Structure 1
Amino acid sequence: MNKYYYLVAGLPELTLEDSKLNYTVADFKTEIYPGLSTSDQKLMDLFYLKFDNTNVLKLLKDKDVIIDMRGNFSAEELNEYIATIKEGGEVSAKEFPSYLSTFISDYFSMPAESAVLLEDHLAALYYAYAMKCENKFVASWFEFNQTVNNILVAFTARKYKWDIAQNVVGDTEVCEALRTSGARDFGLSGEVECFEQLLKISEITELIEREKKLDSLRWDWIDEATFFDYFTIERIFAFLLQLEMIERWISLDKEKGNQLFRSIIESLKNEVQIPAEFK
């Protein structure tokens, strides 16, 4: 196992209430990432793939769109992979994540009448891919996030009488319970440690407060999961996760934040609509 004594010792202390940062997630990619071993860089790539996911969704609609440069791939590379897969070609998993190849292939082969949301399908593939990671902490982080997101979606779906099964993403025991259980707690109170916290968070109507509580839950989970990790890649990955949370909050004032989260709720309400690409 690689140890990063000087690197970790040089990382600043972070709190969720920080109002300014000396550097960003993008800076991390250029300043810290190169100093990691090849295997540990691949772990970090799992985090940055979230930006590639968004970029692929954009480029499938418009190959000339400006993409988020924090991803692992350039617009030129992504457009090349998309074109290859569209024409029926294959891209090596060593060059391009297999789940993204699968998603792009599905995008071009999915029937017009399909009601599958692109974002949900991609999220399911992404989580499944990341959870197969051999690093226990990193795999657990993605599973934790999938669980948190699915439970909150299930609460919302039940409240508005939507189809819960259609909105749950993934294929874990928690996913199955959310899709099939009629119990108030979906039978998860004793299975998911943070279930009661999520229930309370789901009842918060002020969207900014709700999201803050969620990030606090995530932050605490990270701290607890890496408590005994001192100079390891887990500590560095945890730092990156927390850095991104702070960066996101600093970039949002309260009004913009409320607009963002209202748009998220609105998109959930429209989940049964067929994506325009398939019409």
Structure 2
Amino acid sequence: MSKYYYLIAGLPNIALDDSKLTYSVAEFRQEIDNQLSDADRKLIDLFFLKYENLNVINHAKYPDRDPDPRGRITYDEFNELYKALKEEEKPPKNNNIPSYFVEFFKLYLAEEAKENKGEKEYISWEDRLAALYYSYAMDCGNAFVREWFELNLNINNMLTAITCRKYGFDKAGYIVGHNDVAESIRTSNARDFGLGDTIDYLPELQRIAEESDLIVREKKVDILKWKWLDDNTFFKTFDIESVFAYLLKLEMIERWVTLDKNTGEKTFREIIGAMKKGSENALEEFKRNNNK
């Protein structure tokens, strides 16, 4: 296992309430790219796949918008993969595109066939892609990285379920993934979703969910995650886990530096509105663009 003594010793101290960025996440990736082993670089790449997910969804909705530069897969590469699968050809060999994107486009094409028969499944494409992403990341060989992604999956699902209960939505249609926690949330009507004995941070998360100020609530979730990172890297000071944790902390700071209360309120209203409206076909525009 590689050690990163000089890299980590040279990193500035950071805190969640920092008002300025030490690095952006993109700058940090560039800074460390040539200092990591190949195996460890792949772990860092797992984090940045979230921007590839964002790009493929945004490309579907807003085909003229430039991709987020934190992603490295081009729109042409996505289009080439999609067209090959649609025409039932062998997907082009491309080491930049992880396997779950192949599965995602196959799922979309299968759903398209169902729609032509008058069948439709009301689960957003964002959620379907997120489920595939979490499953892919949680299959990695590093326990810390695997547990980090599962932590985020669990927190997102539990907060979603609490919101569904509050507004009277059927939570089963909004829970992502298929780990034990997700299945318990889908099927249990208990206040703690049957997880009181297995998820030690659940009581804290339930208290956070009761916070009426959305920005305060979001900050408390990040504090919970920050503490988890500190606790789980305490004995891994110069390992890749600490590099990965530093990147995650930078992302939190970057988001808070650019976030304001109005943005948080708007985002929440959009989420609730989408849940009330039901899932829309987020890749319809993608299909039209690639049928030209």
What TM-score comes out, normalization by structure 1 length?
Answer: 0.93
Residue 189 of structure 1: SS of its match in structure 2?
A: coil
Does residue 70 of structure 1 match 2:70? yes
Q: Which digits, 9 at most, give the CA deviation of each residue in 1:84-138, with x for residues without a partner? A: 3333232447442111111122122212223221011011110000000100000
2:213 to 206, 214, 218: 206
Question: Structure 1 residue 18: deviation in Å?
Answer: 0.2
- Identity over the aligned pairs, expressed in percent? 47
CA distance in 2, matches of 1:85, 1:134: 29
Structure 2 gaps, min length 5: 286-292
**In structure 2, do the counterparts of structure 1 residues 172 and 268 end up closer, same or farther at CA, with 3 Å as the change threshold?**
same
Partner of 2:290: none
What TM-score comes out, normalization by structure 2 length?
Answer: 0.89
CA distance in 1, matches of 2:54, 2:128: 13
**In structure 2, do the counterparts of structure 1 residues 41 and 100 end up closer, same or farther at CA, with 3 Å as the change threshold?**
same
Question: Structure 1 residue 183: deviation in Å?
Answer: 1.4
Partner of 2:289: none
CA distance in 1, matches of 2:160, 2:5: 40
Does residue 167 of structure 1 match 2:168? no
**Stretches (4+) displaced over 3 A:** 60-64, 91-95, 276-279
Q: Which digits, 9 at most, give the CA deviation of each residue in 1:132-172, with x for residues without a partner? A: 01000000000000000111111111122211111111111
Residue 163 of structure 1 aligns to which amino acid in structure 2?
D
Does residue 140 of structure 1 match 2:155? no
Residue 242 of structure 1: SS of its match in structure 2?
A: helix
Residue 196 of structure 2: SS of its match in structure 1?
A: coil
Partner of 2:105: 104
CA distance in 2, matches of 1:269, 1:172: 26
**In structure 2, do the counterparts of structure 1 residues 189 and 268 end up closer, same or farther at CA, with 3 Å as the change threshold?**
same
User: Is the Cα contact below 8 Å between 2:60 and 2:283 reproduced in 1?
Assistant: no
Partner of 1:8: 8
Q: Which digits, 9 at most, give the CA deviation of each residue in 1:175-222, with x for residues without a partner? A: 111111121211111110110011111111111011011111111111
CA distance in 2, matches of 1:265, 1:274: 14
Partner of 1:50: 50
Residue 275 of structure 1 aligns to which amino acid in structure 2?
N
CA distance in 2, matches of 1:44, 1:87: 33
Partner of 2:87: 87
Residue 10 of structure 2 aligns to which amino acid in structure 1?
G
User: Is the Cα contact below 8 Å between 2:145 and 2:241 reproduced in 1?
Assistant: yes
Residue 186 of structure 1: SS of its match in structure 2?
A: coil
